[in-house]
Structure 1
Amino acid sequence: MIHLAGFTCCLGGVALYLLTRSTGRDIKSITRVYQLKDLEQLVEVESKVVPLIIAVSGDVGSETPIKCEHSYVLGVFLKRTAEQQVLRRNWRFSWVRNSTLMQPMTKEVPWYLDDGTGRVNVDVSQGELGLALTVGSDVFEKAEPVSLVQGALGYLKGFKILGVRHVERVVPIGTPLTVVGEAVRDGMGNVRIQKPEQGPFYVTYIPLDQLISKLGDLSRRFKYASMGLTVLGVILISKPVIEYILKRIEDTLERRRRQFALKRVVDAAARRAKPVTGGGTSRDGDTPDLCVVCLDQKYNTAFVE
Structure 2
Amino acid sequence: MIPWGGVTCCLSAAALYLLGRSSGRDADILKNVTRVNQLKELAQLLELDSSKLLPFIVAVSGRVGSDSPIKCEHSGIRGVIVEETAEQHFLKHNETGSWVQDSALMLSMSKEVPWFLDDGTSRVNVVGARGATGFALTVGSEVFEESGRSLVRGTLDYLQGLKMLGVKRIERVLPTGMPLTIVGEAVKDDIGDFRIQKPDKGPFYVSPKSLDQLISNLGKWSRWYKYASMGLTVFGVFLITKHVIDHVLERRRRRELQKRVLDAAAKRSEPESEGSDGARENVQDSTKKEGAVPDLCVICLEREYNAVFVSCGHMCCCTACSSQLSSCPLCRRRIDQVVKTYRH
Post-superposition offset of 1:179:
0.2
Superposition pairs of residues 56-205 of structure 1, within 5 angstroms: 56-88=60-92, 96-128=100-132, 130-146=134-150, 148-205=151-208
The residue matched to 1:102 in structure 2 has which SS? strand
Post-superposition offset of 1:8:
7.2
Post-superposition offset of 1:97:
3.9
Question: Could you state the TM-score of these two structures normalised by the residue count of structure 1?
Answer: 0.62
Over the residues paired in the alignment, what is the CA RMSD in angstroms?
Answer: 3.9
Can you list the C-alpha shifts for 1:92-141, whole angstroms capped at 9, x where unaligned?
Answer: 87655432222411111111111111111011242446423111111122
> Could you tell me whether the CA contact under 8 Å between 2:85 and 2:107 is conserved in 1?
yes
Tell me the amino acid that sits aligned with residue 69 of structure 2.
P
Tell me the amino acid that sits aligned with residue 185 of structure 1.
K
Tell me the amino acid that sits aligned with residue 204 of structure 1.
S
> Could you tell me whether the CA contact under 8 Å between 1:16 and 1:225 is conserved in 2?
no
User: Which of 38, 44, 48 lines up with 1:41 in the alignment?
Assistant: 44
* Inter-partner Cα distance in structure 1 for 2:15 and 2:170: 42
Can you list the C-alpha shifts for 1:179-212, whole angstroms capped at 9, x where unaligned?
Answer: 0000011121211100111111111111122223
Post-superposition offset of 1:18:
6.0
Tell me the amino acid that sits aligned with residue 53 of structure 1.
I
> Could you tell me whether the CA contact under 8 Å between 2:63 and 2:117 is conserved in 1?
yes
> Could you tell me whether the CA contact under 8 Å between 2:58 and 2:184 is conserved in 1?
yes
* Inter-partner Cα distance in structure 1 for 2:27 and 2:165: 54
> Could you tell me whether the CA contact under 8 Å between 2:40 and 2:122 is conserved in 1?
yes
Q: Are residues 216 and 17 of structure 1, via their aligned partners in 2, closer, same or farther at CA, if it must alter by over 3 Å? A: closer
Percent identity between matched residues is 52
The residue matched to 1:189 in structure 2 has which SS? coil
Question: Could you state the TM-score of these two structures normalised by the residue count of structure 2?
Answer: 0.56
| Mapped pair 1:54 → 2:55 | no
> Could you tell me whether the CA contact under 8 Å between 1:88 and 1:96 is conserved in 2?
yes
Which has the larger Rg? 1
* Inter-partner Cα distance in structure 1 for 2:79 and 2:159: 45
Structure 1 regions of 5+ residues with no counterpart? 240-305
Q: Are residues 17 and 48 of structure 1, via their aligned partners in 2, closer, same or farther at CA, if it must alter by over 3 Å? A: farther
Task: Give the count of matched residue pairs.
Answer: 233
* Inter-partner Cα distance in structure 2 for 1:97 and 1:156: 17
The residue matched to 1:212 in structure 2 has which SS? helix
Higher relative CO (CA 8 A, sep ≥ 6), structure 1 or 2?
1
